[in-house]
Amino acid sequence: MSLKHTDLSWKVPLLSAAAVVFCQFSEASPVRIEGLQTIPADQANKWIAPQIEFIESSGVSMARADDISFFLENALRDRGYKEATVDWKLENDTIILSVSEGSSILIGDISVSGNTTIDDAGVEELLTTATVKRVSSSDTSSLPYVAEDIKQGKKRIEEFYILLGFGDVSVDLETDFSNGNADIAVVIDEGQQMKVGSITLPAAPVPEIGKGYEEIQKDFSEQNFSAAIPANLETRLRALAVDSGYYNATITATPSSPRSADGFSVVDVSVDADWGERISVGSISVNGNEKVNSEFFERHFDELVNKPYSPDRTNAAVEELLQTGAFETVRTDLVENNDGTVSLDVEVEEGYSRTLGVYAGFATYEGPIGGFEFRNLNLFGSVRKVDATIELSSRGARGEVEYTDPWVLDSDYEFRGTLFAINRSEEGYEKFQTGGRYEFTRRLGREKKNALSFFGEASYTDVHDADISPIFLGDTEYFTHSAGFSLTHDRRDNPTAPRKGWIAQTSISVASSAIASDTEFLKATGRLGFYIPVRDHTLRLGARAGAISPMGNQGAIPIDLRFFNGGAYSVRSFPERELGPFDPATGYPTGGEFFTVFNAEYEIPIPAIDGLSIVPFADAGNLLIDSGDAGLDDLRYAIGLGIRYRTPIGPLRLEYGHNPDQRPGEPSGTFHAGFGFAY
């Protein structure tokens, strides 16, 4: 619709489905249809397939025969056979449905006149929407004529015009059956388009409401006027009042009679308000807490006390509690006090605070993975969290202890502190690393999805038993201390399984002798991801890049600080870390100072198996030795197909990436097995 003025093949599921259809509609079916003249029998069977399946499983009876004849008769009439009748009889455990089709009327030519705002195709779409939905067909050239559907279509046209501000629109239909089909003439008198004129708002009782007026004026002025505008104004101003403590405010928006201005009918709107008393939160009471200290809740909700009651701020405080994982439910209620204030009653249901878990998995590069995790979500009864993890894989071992304080020193900053030790084998060398990380994060935005973080890492690294030539290794034993910041802007609908929205992230860090680091470098990374729903499919687009440059007297960046590319989470035609520079003597990858990765994939659910989907994808990326040569030179590519199975904590993935531009020494493609999204 447009406005004129605005200018692997899955053979097993398919064969199974075919077998089901064959079984349902074979000669042994308990239902037989007779008397069809223009409709193929298999098509009629599909219309009543659920009823046939029920009779196959439950048996033939007179009541079921009567039911299925009713369904078939309705299906025929829905498709334009308005005089169709279906009779039934039982014969040797078989239901015989006798059909009299009657005459069939299809929608013929649709002509539209009088429309200057919506084009002809748009009018036709609105007129036939109910019929298209009824017959579930994308073929609009042979739609049945159903008078009730056309009546609904006429109403849809009128409603759409009203939304565009044409409050006096009239739509007439003239139907001609003379040529055997229903030719429909749609005659539209649009009338004059109405716009919102001036909006008169009541005096704001507090500055917070006055500030909100500016946005309301901006959003509503000169918009198309419809009957919904006054109601929408009332809703917006009511929400503004409630968030400022005027919980019992009554708002009334009254439109004026239309006046002519600049070729439009203009409707002014006057808004009146009875603000009532401003409600403040006098105290907080908490019930249901057995493990969490009451003092914690007093501190957490302290910013609400002795201030106007705001549902938004209260809900934000509740959401922060739920995100800690320490609570199953958190409910709030208002209780009026004699002094005109209210008490905020908080009812909590605590979850399990201590858990011990065992997990196992497999990834193409890591091989078998297993681990133990202990978690305490309520350390010292103050909703501080400690995680301890030991993980083993064919590559080595990792141990980690992480402490999280969501409100460090009762501020809006979250603190994470981590101690770790790693002993593992990479391609061409082994390493031991131990150290710690620290991070302070401030959550931003109304939904707390955006974040500003300050972070650092201090670690000792020992690269040993290397088969890679020393010239490609850089320093092999060193202490690194880096510090930096990151920004995250997250507009995804779901962080673990996004279907729409976007995310942008960037980080910059520096390691310097000024903060006791043996190595000195400047490092920057960035990420951009888009998630676009296409009906029940999902298109994902992603781009990442990073650069690390030596500073001061630093020579080559040590191999374990460089970037690597290729693998299940980058360019999938290459094995893990094997895209880019390598040691010519051993063939092992040596990493680089600059990388890019670009991904596109299209997820298609398989209806027959809940949670299963196929994912065609395309990747591109590069890895360059010197960050001074940063650019899109030497891009490598992948095209492929994957299978994913959705689980509560992320998808299980099996993928094959083909290398369409294979060079000597490169694989023709690579198989990957793993867990989580590619980006």
CB crowding 204-242: b at 16 or more within 10 Å, else e: bbeeebeebbeebeeebeeebbbeebbeebbebbeebbb
Q: What is the CATH number of domain 406-675?
A: 2.40.160.50
Residue 211 Cα distances to 197, 204, 207, angstroms:
21, 9, 6
| Residue 114 buriedness (CB in 10 A; 0-12 / 13-18 / 19+) | middle
Rounded to an integer, the average pLDDT of 88-110 is 88
- Name the pLDDT band for 387 (thresholds 50, 70, 90): very high
- Nearest-angstrom CA–CA distance, 147 and 150: 5
What is residue 626's predicted lDDT score, i.e. its pLDDT? 96
- Name the pLDDT band for 678 (thresholds 50, 70, 90): low
| Residue 179 buriedness (CB in 10 A; 0-12 / 13-18 / 19+) | exposed
Q: Return the number of other C-beta atoms located less than 10 Å from residue 360's C-beta.
A: 9
Identify whether the C-beta of residue 496 lies closer than 8 Å to the C-beta of residue 646.
Answer: no
Residue 254 Cα distances to 35, 171, 241, 269, angstroms:
62, 28, 18, 6
DSSP letters of 381-394?
TTTEEEEEEEEEET
Rounded to an integer, the average pLDDT of 497-512 is 95
Rounded to an integer, the average pLDDT of 402-424 is 93
Q: Three-state SS for 650?
A: strand
Residue 291 Cα distances to 204, 284, 473, 670, angstroms:
45, 18, 52, 50
Contacts of 440 (CB under 8 A, 6+ apart): 408, 413, 414, 415, 453, 454, 455
CATH 3.40.50.10490 holds for 281-350: no
The helix or strand, by DSSP H or E, that contains position 162, with its residue range, turns out to be helix 147-163
- Name the pLDDT band for 79 (thresholds 50, 70, 90): confident
Q: Return the number of other C-beta atoms located less than 10 Å from residue 627's C-beta.
A: 21
- Name the pLDDT band for 138 (thresholds 50, 70, 90): low
What is residue 412's predicted lDDT score, i.e. its pLDDT? 83
Q: Tokens 């493990």 appear where?
A: 291
Contacts of 512 (CB under 8 A, 6+ apart): 520, 551, 552
Q: Tokens 């704001």 appear where?
A: 204
Strand partners, 173: 186
What is residue 447's predicted lDDT score, i.e. its pLDDT? 61
* pLDDT score of 11 more than 80: no
Q: Three-state SS for 134?
A: helix
The Cα angle at residue 459 between residues 457 and 462, in degrees rounded to 5? 150
- The conformation of residue 600, written as its DSSP 8-state character, comes to E
Could you tell me which residue, 588 or 247, shows the higher pLDDT?
588
Rounded to an integer, the average pLDDT of 65-92 is 88
* pLDDT score of 8 more than 50: no
From its phi and psi, is residue 534 left (phi > 0), alpha (psi between -120 and 50) or beta?
Answer: beta
Torsion on CA atoms 475, 481, 487, 492, rounded to nearest 10: 70
* pLDDT score of 583 more than 80: yes
- Options 3.40.50.2300, 3.10.20.310, 3.30.70.1350, 3.40.50.800; CATH for 194-274 is 3.10.20.310
Q: Supply φ then ψ for residue 77, to 5 degrees.
A: -70, -35
Contacts of 65 (CB under 8 A, 6+ apart): 88, 89, 90, 95
Could you tell me which residue, 445 or 180, shows the higher pLDDT?
180
pTM of the model: 0.68
Please provide the average confidence, as pLDDT, over all residues in the chain. 89
Question: What are 177-218's pLDDT values in tens digits?
Answer: 887 788 999 999 998 889 999 999 999 999 989 999 999 999
Rounded to an integer, the average pLDDT of 402-419 is 92
Residue from 83, 126, 109 nearest 176 by CA: 109
Could you tell me which residue, 142 or 95, shows the higher pLDDT?
95
Identify whether the C-beta of residue 562 lies closer than 8 Å to the C-beta of residue 548.
Answer: yes
- Nearest-angstrom CA–CA distance, 125 and 531: 28
- Nearest-angstrom CA–CA distance, 550 and 594: 12
What is residue 130's predicted lDDT score, i.e. its pLDDT? 84
* pLDDT score of 137 more than 70: no
- Name the pLDDT band for 342 (thresholds 50, 70, 90): confident
- The conformation of residue 114, written as its DSSP 8-state character, comes to S
What is residue 656's predicted lDDT score, i.e. its pLDDT? 97
Question: What are 613-666's pLDDT values in tens digits?
Answer: 999 999 999 999 999 999 999 999 999 999 999 887 678 899 999 999 999 999
Residue from 313, 395, 301 nearest 348 by CA: 301
What is residue 339's predicted lDDT score, i.e. its pLDDT? 77
Strand partners, 110: 184
Q: Supply φ then ψ for residue 240, to 5 degrees.
A: -65, -40
- Name the pLDDT band for 4 (thresholds 50, 70, 90): very low
Could you tell me which residue, 625 or 303, shows the higher pLDDT?
625
Identify whether the C-beta of residue 627 lies closer than 8 Å to the C-beta of residue 593.
Answer: yes
- How many secondary structure helices (H) and strands (E) does the chain include? 10, 29
Question: What are 265-274's pLDDT values in tens digits?
Answer: 899 999 999 9
Rounded to an integer, the average pLDDT of 319-327 is 89
- Nearest-angstrom CA–CA distance, 601 and 618: 6
- Name the pLDDT band for 126 (thresholds 50, 70, 90): very high
What is residue 459's predicted lDDT score, i.e. its pLDDT? 98
Rounded to an integer, the average pLDDT of 305-334 is 90
Identify whether the C-beta of residue 279 lies closer than 8 Å to the C-beta of residue 307.
Answer: no
- The conformation of residue 242, written as its DSSP 8-state character, comes to H
Instruction: Give the side-chain half-sphere CA count within 13 A for 260.
Output: 3
- Nearest-angstrom CA–CA distance, 257 and 265: 9
Q: What is the CATH number of domain 107-189?
A: 3.10.20.310
DSSP letters of 20-41?
HHHHHTSTT-SEEEE--SSS-H
* pLDDT score of 18 more than 50: no
Identify whether the C-beta of residue 116 lies closer than 8 Å to the C-beta of residue 125.
Answer: no
Question: What are 27-51's pLDDT values in tens digits?
Answer: 468 999 998 876 778 888 988 999 9
Token digits of residue 104: 């069939």
Residue from 175, 151, 155 nearest 163 by CA: 155
Q: Where in the chain is the domain with CATH 2.40.160.50?
A: 406-675
- Options 3.40.50.300, 3.30.70.1380, 3.30.1490.20, 3.10.20.310; CATH for 11-100 is 3.10.20.310
Rounded to an integer, the average pLDDT of 152-168 is 90
- Name the pLDDT band for 139 (thresholds 50, 70, 90): low
Quick one: three-class SS letters along 541-553?
EEEEEEEEEECCC
- Nearest-angstrom CA–CA distance, 540 and 603: 8
Q: Where in the chain is the domain with CATH 3.10.20.310?
A: 11-100, 107-189, 194-274, 281-350
Percent of the chain's residues with pLDDT above 70: 93
Could you tell me which residue, 165 or 666, shows the higher pLDDT?
666
Question: What are 591-612's pLDDT values in tens digits?
Answer: 999 999 999 999 999 988 988 9
Residue from 130, 123, 167, 122 nearest 152 by CA: 130
